[in-house]
């Protein structure tokens, strides 16, 4: 994972430590206890509480002396003070009851979280249009909180004017010029072009919303441009000098890389495969099957191909590079984590599926690879991705477990759950997010660490 804000462990992660007695008895806690006791002592003595303080008595005496001296000098008389009671100071105010204290505390917290008193929609649009007005980490945390609690405002087709910009912010994707994208298009067919053409025509083929908005030609252009970008990065990596610890027939490795004559004699770097299907699987590929479905929501949500390109390229290279390697090692790690996490959040369901020899690799491969984009409806996919980009795409593993929990009763009563798991039921983004957030408390710290890093 990268150092982008998304890959940081979200605030939703469960706490794995319990405060000790020494921590509970810190000096700060003792000060708070003394203040509370002092307040109770003040409120228990109502007569003393309402008696004027020494400072108040001195002020009244001073006012009387000033009034008498001004009267002797025949100056205009100062109007008398209002007859109502004086305003109490914080030190001698009556301690309110618990309910009013809780309500006041909520108002204070709300004012701190939303100092402008804007409604959530206006606040989110302001964050996107105007950028951070203060500390960037605080503003990003606020944006994530708005995405989780309020969600992005969209129509029935899932279209939102600010969604792609929120994604670009959360993915920390830099802006590029349209000319940079067009230069990749003008290069023509990439080494993975034939594989791309074999997949694009069936991308979300049964989804009318996607077919109405995104053409196959647009999908081909974007995937081909990404393939060129990954191809160039791969060539640059292979061209980097690799130091070895032993000298060969050309002499010392350090001298080989320092001498342009010897370096030129070695010849240009060669590549074993350029279509992303290398046997080793440790090198990044330029296209693997399933990238077409993973790319589809970006094109649907974006307002231009260039926006979709930079978001999709940043996503697969920073957040889940292990998913697009030739061996898809990140996907296989994710499948193992689905089995492991399901055994933690629902042991009974996990044991039943295991007894039927139903491992995640048999039913969850597409859901892991595509971040659940293979399961309709598309507007729910977009809403689920809002959550994943805000708090980390690694949470998709727990979202898959949440879908299994939703199907729990049906699966446990079915003698053949294989048929039910051939295709997941329609996504319910809000319910899935609620279950995922709840299950986070059950995940141990070491397993959560595996979730964070499994797609690297």
Residue-wise pLDDT for 7-43, tens only, equals 444 444 444 444 444 443 444 444 444 444 433 443 3
Query: What are φ and ψ of residue 325, in 5° steps?
Result: -75, 165
Q: Which of 21-25, 138-142, 196-200, 417-421 has the lowest mean pLDDT?
A: 21-25
pLDDT given for residue 271 in this prediction: 35
| pLDDT higher than threshold 80 for residue 73 | no
pLDDT given for residue 1 in this prediction: 45
Per-residue pLDDT tens over the stretch 205-239: 999 999 999 999 999 999 999 999 999 998 988 88
| pLDDT higher than threshold 70 for residue 403 | yes
Confirm whether pTM is higher than 0.75: no
pLDDT given for residue 257 in this prediction: 43
pLDDT given for residue 140 in this prediction: 93
Q: CA 335 to CA 317: how far, in whole Å?
A: 20
Q: With respect to CATH, is domain 328-456 assigned 1.10.472.80?
A: yes
pLDDT given for residue 116 in this prediction: 53
* DSSP one-letter string for 354-370: HHTT--HHHHSHHHHHT
User: Token pair of 286, please?
Assistant: 């330029």
Q: CA 297 to CA 233: how far, in whole Å?
A: 24
- Helix, strand or coil, per DSSP, at residue 76: coil
% of the chain with per-residue pLDDT over 90:
55
pLDDT band at 117 (very low <50, low <70, confident <90, very high): low
| pLDDT higher than threshold 90 for residue 353 | yes
Per-residue pLDDT tens over the stretch 165-214: 999 999 999 888 999 999 999 999 999 999 999 999 999 999 999 999 99
Taking residue 353's Cβ as centre, other Cβ atoms within 10 Å add up to 24
pLDDT given for residue 141 in this prediction: 93
| pLDDT higher than threshold 70 for residue 77 | no
Query: How far from the centroid of its chain's Cα atoms is residue 199's Cα?
Result: 29
Cβ atoms 173, 165 nearer than 8 A: no
**Greatest mean pLDDT range, 41-50, 237-246, 370-379:** 370-379
According to DSSP, the residues that pair with 284 across neighbouring strands are 325
Q: Nearest-CA neighbor of 169 among 214, 222, 114, 124?
A: 124
pLDDT band at 242 (very low <50, low <70, confident <90, very high): low
User: Token pair of 240, please?
Assistant: 């980097």
According to DSSP, the residues that pair with 325 across neighbouring strands are 284
Tell me which of 114 and 347 has the higher pLDDT.
Answer: 347
Residues of the chain with CATH 1.10.472.80: 328-456
Cβ atoms 304, 311 nearer than 8 A: no
Mean pLDDT, residues 412-427 = 92
Q: CA 327 to CA 181: how far, in whole Å?
A: 28
Tell me which of 402 and 74 has the higher pLDDT.
Answer: 402
User: Token pair of 79, please?
Assistant: 């109007």
Looking at residue 388, the DSSP 8-state letter turns out to be H
pLDDT band at 285 (very low <50, low <70, confident <90, very high): confident
Q: Nearest-CA neighbor of 341 among 401, 412, 399, 393?
A: 401
% of the chain with per-residue pLDDT over 70:
65
Q: CA 220 to CA 77: how far, in whole Å?
A: 88
pLDDT band at 57 (very low <50, low <70, confident <90, very high): low
pLDDT given for residue 284 in this prediction: 58
pLDDT given for residue 66 in this prediction: 57
Computed over every residue of the chain, the mean pLDDT equals: 76
| pLDDT higher than threshold 80 for residue 240 | no
- CA torsion, ordered 216, 218, 223, 226, to nearest 10 deg: 180
| pLDDT higher than threshold 70 for residue 74 | no
pLDDT given for residue 63 in this prediction: 62
| pLDDT higher than threshold 80 for residue 455 | yes
* DSSP one-letter string for 311-323: HHHHIIIII-GGG
Q: Which of 34-43, 119-128, 238-247, 331-340 has the lowest mean pLDDT?
A: 34-43
Give, to the nearest 10 degrees, the angle between helix 429-439 and helix 378-391: 30
Q: Measure the CA angle with vertex 391, ends 388 and 395; round to 5°.
A: 55
Helix then strand count (H, E) for the chain reads 26, 0
Q: CA 434 to CA 14: how far, in whole Å?
A: 14
Q: CA 405 to CA 352: how far, in whole Å?
A: 13
| pLDDT higher than threshold 50 for residue 421 | yes
Mean pLDDT, residues 417-437 = 94
Surface-to-core class of residue 155, CB atoms within 10 Å of its CB (0-12 exposed, 13-18 middle, 19+ buried): exposed
Q: CA 193 to CA 418: how far, in whole Å?
A: 35
């Amino acid at each position: 994972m990268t150092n982008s804000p998304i890959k940081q462990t979200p605030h939703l992660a469960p706490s794995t430590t319990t405060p000790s007695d020494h921590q509970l008895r810190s000096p700060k806690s003792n000060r708070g206890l003394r203040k509370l006791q002092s307040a109770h002592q003040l409120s228990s003595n109502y007569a003393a509480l309402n008696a004027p303080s020494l400072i108040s008595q001195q002020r009244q005496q001073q006012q009387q002396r000033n009034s008498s001296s001004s009267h002797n000098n025949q100056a205009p008389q100062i109007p008398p003070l209002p007859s109502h009671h004086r305003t109490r100071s914080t030190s001698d105010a009556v301690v309110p009851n618990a309910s009013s204290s809780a309500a006041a505390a909520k108002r204070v917290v709300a004012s701190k979280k939303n100092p402008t008193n804007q409604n959530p929609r206006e606040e989110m649009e302001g964050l996107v249009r105007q950028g951070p007005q203060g500390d960037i980490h605080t503003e990003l945390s606020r944006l994530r909180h708005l995405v989780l609690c309020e969600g992005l405002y969209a129509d029935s087709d899932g279209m939102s004017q600010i969604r792609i910009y929120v994604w670009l912010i959360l993915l920390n994707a830099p802006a590029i010029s349209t000319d940079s994208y067009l230069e990749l298009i003008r290069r023509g067919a990439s080494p993975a072009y034939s594989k791309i053409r074999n997949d694009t025509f069936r991308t979300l083929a049964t989804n009318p919303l996607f077919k109405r908005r995104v053409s196959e030609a647009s999908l081909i252009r974007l995937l081909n441009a990404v393939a060129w970008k990954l191809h160039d990065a791969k060539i640059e990596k292979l061209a980097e000098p690799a130091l070895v610890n032993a000298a060969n027939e050309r002499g010392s490795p350090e001298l080989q890389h320092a001498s342009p004559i010897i370096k030129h004699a070695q010849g240009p770097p060669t590549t074993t495969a350029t279509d992303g299907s290398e046997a080793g699987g440790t090198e990044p590929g330029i296209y693997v099957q399933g990238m077409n479905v993973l790319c589809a929501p970006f094109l649907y949500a974006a307002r231009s191909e260039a926006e979709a390109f930079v978001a999709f390229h940043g996503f697969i290279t920073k957040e889940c590079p292990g998913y697009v390697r030739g061996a898809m090692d990140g996907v296989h790690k994710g499948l193992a984590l689905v089995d492991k996490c399901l055994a933690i959040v629902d042991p009974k369901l996990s044991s039943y599926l295991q007894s039927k020899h139903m491992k995640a690799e048999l039913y969850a491969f597409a859901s892991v690879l595509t971040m659940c984009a293979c399961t309709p409806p598309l507007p729910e996919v977009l809403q689920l991705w809002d959550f994943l980009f805000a708090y980390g795409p690694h949470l998709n593993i727990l979202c898959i477990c949440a879908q299994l929990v939703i199907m729990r009763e049906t699966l446990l009563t079915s003698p053949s759950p294989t048929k039910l798991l051939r295709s997941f039921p329609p996504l319910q983004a809000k319910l899935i997010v609620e279950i995922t957030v709840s299950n986070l408390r059950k995940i141990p710290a070491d397993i959560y660490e595996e979730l964070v890093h499994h797609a690297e």
